Amino acid sequence: MCSIIGYRGKNSAAPILVNGLQRMEYRGYDSVGIATKSKNQILLRKGVGKVVEVNNAIQLDKLPGNIGIGHTRWATHGKVTEQNAHPHSSNSGKIAIVHNGIIENFEELKSNLQNNGFDFHSETDTEVIANLIQLNFDESPDIKQAIIKTVAQLKGHYSFVVIFEDGTIAGARFHEPLIVGVGKDSYYLSSDVLGFIERTDDAIYVDNEDFAIIMIDIDHFKNINDTYGHDAGDVILKSLGLLFKRYARDIDMIGRFGGEEFVAVLPNTDKEGAYKFAEKLRSIVENTKFMYKNTRIKVTVSGGIASRDEVNSKEELLKKADERLYLAKKSGRNRVCADDECK
């Protein structure tokens, strides 16, 4: 049972991370490591053994920087080696991650990443997440959207904390614990409150909260490209992305999902609320004048909706929303389907 911890604040991160990992030793582990951000680069040290042993050998707590992540690993994928110990960095070295849980489809994801030119230096499923985040971030340099796209591709139960070269620290969970600690001028992410209990007792337990998703597809997008050219298609995609974000709440997450598809993740939203929002977007798109080189291009969209309470996993959630998107297009396009029988 792995332990993860992240810290961002005014103090030196490394001693805080090491101390937090020692407090979570009861969870069992075989290796330990930390990564910190210092002078626009990510520094990483790790080794096999107990926290105190590895710290004495390679001075984990001496790494500079006031932002960092730490981990104690209980081997699941791969042997007990330094290479398999966490944190793991992406190929660029600009992203590092610590992870708890199991990614069931890591072999498939790893193969796809290798086909895209990524190299791997461990046997772990965790390194796959690091490189998948890098791939998605390289395609669209928006950290939140890169995380959203990454978790949509993962199958299994997990929690992870990731640090970026610019000092951004982010976390995500699905059926594995992740707790946020808020202190004076400091923030913590941990798998257990023991990781930061000495420094703050203000904890937020990140829940698998209710949410809905909307899959949105541009109707007859191929015809737009064929008639007006691919530059016009790119203008439409960019314009729609800006339009969707303009009408979304601050907590909503909307981004490209590949091709001419978009996905919207709506926290604290039931299916009825998602339907109203999707219908609003559909109507706004239908009545918006999209211009390209002084020519108006008529654009409509279709949408499919699914809510978390309908399914048992996020994979089923995406599948359900995609099926309803297909139904909306089959039923005449320029419409939204929230049920298996389109209204």
Which CATH number applies to 3-205?
Answer: 3.60.20.10
Residue 243 and residue 127: Cα distance in Å, rounded? 35
Q: Which CATH class is domain 211-337?
A: alpha beta
Q: Is 30 in contact with 80 (CB distance < 8 Å)?
A: yes
pLDDT in tens, 68-101: 999 998 877 778 899 999 999 999 999 999 999 9
Largest CA distance in the chain: 69
pLDDT, tens digit, for every residue of 138-193?
A: 988 889 889 988 988 998 889 999 999 999 999 998 888 889 999 888 999 999 88
CA distance linking residue 159 with residue 151, whole number of Å:
10
Inter-helix orientation angle 221-228/230-247, to 10°: 130
Q: Are 40 and 14 in contact (CB under 8 A)?
A: no
Q: DSSP for 173-238?
A: EEBS--EEEEETTEEEEESSGGGTTTT---EEE-----EEEEEEEETTHHHHHHHH-HHHHHHHHH
Q: Which of 11-15, 110-114, 314-318 has the lowest mean pLDDT?
A: 314-318
Which of the four pLDDT bands, split at 50, 70 and 90, describes residue 305? Answer: very high
- Cβ(35)–Cβ(93) under 8 Å? no
| pLDDT score at 1 | 61
The ranges assigned to domains in the chain are 3-205, 211-337
3-class DSSP state of 149: helix
Q: What is the pTM for the complete model shown?
A: 0.66
